[in-house]
DNA sequence: CTGCAAAGAGGCGGC
DNA sequence: GCCGCCTTTTTGCAG
């Protein structure tokens, strides 16, 4: 086995390999369309039965990060993949992708190659997102009174050994309030987080006298979670969504 | 705007459109390689700046599920995507992907089309996995004494309002034990789960007299989690990995 | 580097 | 459909 020149000996003849790595084509994503089957070993063992696939190789030797994704005709998520830093090797009759440091390996046997092409990958566009949790939390931090009148923020992302508390606050009675923010829906997992943080605050000598309680802030609460919340005297829910915090809509 | 025949008017002339949807090509994944920029709106708002992309359209009208993935030269995960059930529409100068029911929309303006191709997608290969959590749990369920001598399973996936408990057990003293299994590493999130379940068991009249305690089973424990566990008298950790439970290695 | 939680999470199984 | 959780999660961020 040796470093390659992407493509199995069978699938790509020497002259086609020149095509793949032609002069001046320093940045390329290799796109293979084929009928193939595959084996992955590493974090688990997996076998992908014969089927039609589109394989994207973001080859590190030509501008990519070495990641590989193998897509079938269905699903958003790939059937197989390899992380950044993967190297493409060659065996007699199949493709081998290997990430030695991680102990991962993906082998693909191509029964029929429908097409191969290289896509330029000189330019990686920037991605900007609006409306993610960070922004929701930002707006909330500017208007903590929207959560509860008289609420003041002591610290954002207050770090405890149990994890970071989104907003550590004091209420109008100067008692301690831990606020957990969810941009979309609050479920049991959110409640577990808040309880975990609260439990820790109650253990801390500097906070336990402030009788910490918790507030879950989200636009929506899952029904079973609401039922569990009703049993929690020290945790409450405040319904607030992104659209409730538009800067041009003060109340 | 009208249903299409994938491709923007600008990028794909009428004759090339015939190529895309040629007679008898009923199952196709459309692969576009291009320099383009994109906008997504739906669950958030996002803008992807101009860059080189490979777009896979698993068109529902031709054997796919309607999902779309947009890959740049880096990262395993796509820059943008659309879920199954997305329809491809046409605007004057760009591609439009829309999932009306979900209120999601992805628009892509192609500056330069490097290549387009259709990949057959008749056959979707089956994917089998070995070594996932389910299998780990299966093996553990066959040998609960590996967790602790005398441990018996009362029920697997015992459902509580707080969520399913992996293994509900009784120990040699007939006291109740909730076991949470992690195939890889156990972190604070695992501890939160177990505590949540335990708390619920303690509330249940039929179990509270059995003095429920918890065991976290995993091949590895994160250090801060271990520190927190040391403060939990009723929760312990048992180190067991997949390889410790090989069927041909009884002890 | 580790730790921690979000993600436009996705996908699966259960009810 | 909702619900709960695992994922070869991946990605990003902070200490």
How does pLDDT run across A168-221, given as a tens digit for each residue? 999 999 999 999 999 999 999 999 999 999 999 999 998 999 999 999 999 999
Q: How far is A74 from chain B (nearest CA, A)?
A: 5
Q: Pseudo-torsion of CA B225, B228, B234, B237, nearest 10°?
A: 30
In angstroms, the CA of B84 and the C1' of C9 are apart by: 15
Q: How far is B56 from chain A (nearest CA, A)?
A: 9
Residue with tokens 């102990």: A103
Average pLDDT over every residue of A160-168: 97
Average pLDDT over every residue of B10-28: 44
Q: Could A65 and B75 be called an inter-chain contact, meaning their C-beta atoms sit closer than 8 Å?
A: yes
Q: Would you say the C-beta of A18 is within 7 Å of strand C?
A: no
Q: Could A79 and B125 be called an inter-chain contact, meaning their C-beta atoms sit closer than 8 Å?
A: yes
Q: Quick one: which H or E segment has residue A230? A: helix A223-230
Q: Could B84 and A74 be called an inter-chain contact, meaning their C-beta atoms sit closer than 8 Å?
A: yes
Nearest CA in chain B to A81: B76
Q: Which of A119, A128, A79 is nearest to B72 (CA)?
A: A119
Helices (H), A108-186: 133-142
- Out of B123, B163, B231, name the one closest to residue A35 (CB): B123
Q: Residue A225, CA: closest nucleotide via C1'?
A: D3
> In the prediction, which pLDDT does A249 show?
53
DSSP A2-44: EE-SSS-TTTS-HHHHHHHT-TT--SEEEEEEEEEEEEEESSS
First vs last Cα of chain B: how many Å apart?
67
Torsions phi, psi for B25 (to 5 deg): -90, 75
> In the prediction, which pLDDT does B90 show?
78
| Angstrom distance (rounded) from CA A214 to CA A154 | 14
**What's the mean pLDDT when you consider all of chain A?**
89
- CB-based contacts of A103: which residues, under 8 Å, 6+ apart? A42
> Which of A25-34, A234-243, B211-220 is the least confident region?
A25-34
Q: Which of A171, A151, A181, A162 is nearest to A212 (CA)?
A: A171
Q: Would you say the C-beta of B189 is within 7 Å of strand C?
A: yes
Q: Could A117 and B117 be called an inter-chain contact, meaning their C-beta atoms sit closer than 8 Å?
A: yes
Q: Could A127 and B48 be called an inter-chain contact, meaning their C-beta atoms sit closer than 8 Å?
A: yes
Does the pLDDT at position A121 exceed 90?
no
Higher pLDDT, B139 or A132: B139
Q: What is the pTM of this model?
A: 0.90
| Angstrom distance (rounded) from CA B220 to CA A80 | 26
Binding residues for strand D (Cβ < 7 Å) = A 40, 42-44, 46, 67, 79-84, 104, 106, 157, 159, 187-189, 222-225; B 75-77, 127, 129, 132-134, 161-164, 166, 183-184, 193
Average pLDDT over every residue of B182-211: 96
Q: How many CB pairs under 8 A join A and B?
A: 214
Does the pLDDT at position B25 exceed 70?
no
Give the number of other Cβ atoms within 10 Å of residue A173's Cβ: 9
Give the number of other Cβ atoms within 10 Å of residue B31's Cβ: 22
| Angstrom distance (rounded) from CA A19 to CA A115 | 13
Q: Give the distance between the most distant pair of CA atoms in chain A.
A: 79
């Amino acid at each position: 086995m040796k470093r390659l020149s992407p493509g199995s000996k069978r699938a790509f003849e020497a002259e086609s390999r020149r095509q793949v790595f032609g002069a001046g084509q320093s940045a390329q994503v290799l796109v293979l369309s084929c009928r193939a089957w595959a084996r992955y070993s590493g974090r688990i063992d997996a076998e992908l039965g014969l089927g039609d696939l589109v394989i994207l190789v973001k080859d590190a030797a030509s501008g990519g990060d070495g990641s590989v994704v193998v897509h079938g005709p269905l699903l958003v998520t790939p059937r197989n993949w390899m992380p950044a830093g993967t190297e493409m090797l060659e065996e007699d009759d199949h493709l081998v992708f290997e990430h030695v440091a991680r102990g991962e390996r993906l082998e693909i046997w191509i029964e029929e190659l429908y097409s191969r092409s290289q896509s330029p990958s000189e330019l990686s566009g920037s991605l900007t997102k609006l409306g993610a949790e960070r922004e929701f939390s930002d707006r909330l931090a500017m208007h903590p009174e929207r959560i509860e009148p008289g609420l003041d923020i002591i610290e954002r992302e207050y770090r405890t050994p149990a994890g970071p508390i989104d907003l550590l606050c004091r209420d109008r009675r100067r008692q301690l309030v831990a606020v957990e923010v969810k941009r979309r829906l609050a479920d049991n997992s959110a409640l577990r987080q808040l309880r975990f943080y609260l439990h820790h605050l109650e253990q801390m000598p500097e906070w336990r006298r402030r009788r910490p309680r918790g507030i879950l802030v989200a636009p929506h609460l899952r029904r079973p979670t609401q039922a569990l919340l009703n049993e929690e005297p020290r945790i409450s829910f405040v319904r607030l969504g992104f659209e409730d915090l538009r800067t041009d809509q003060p109340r």
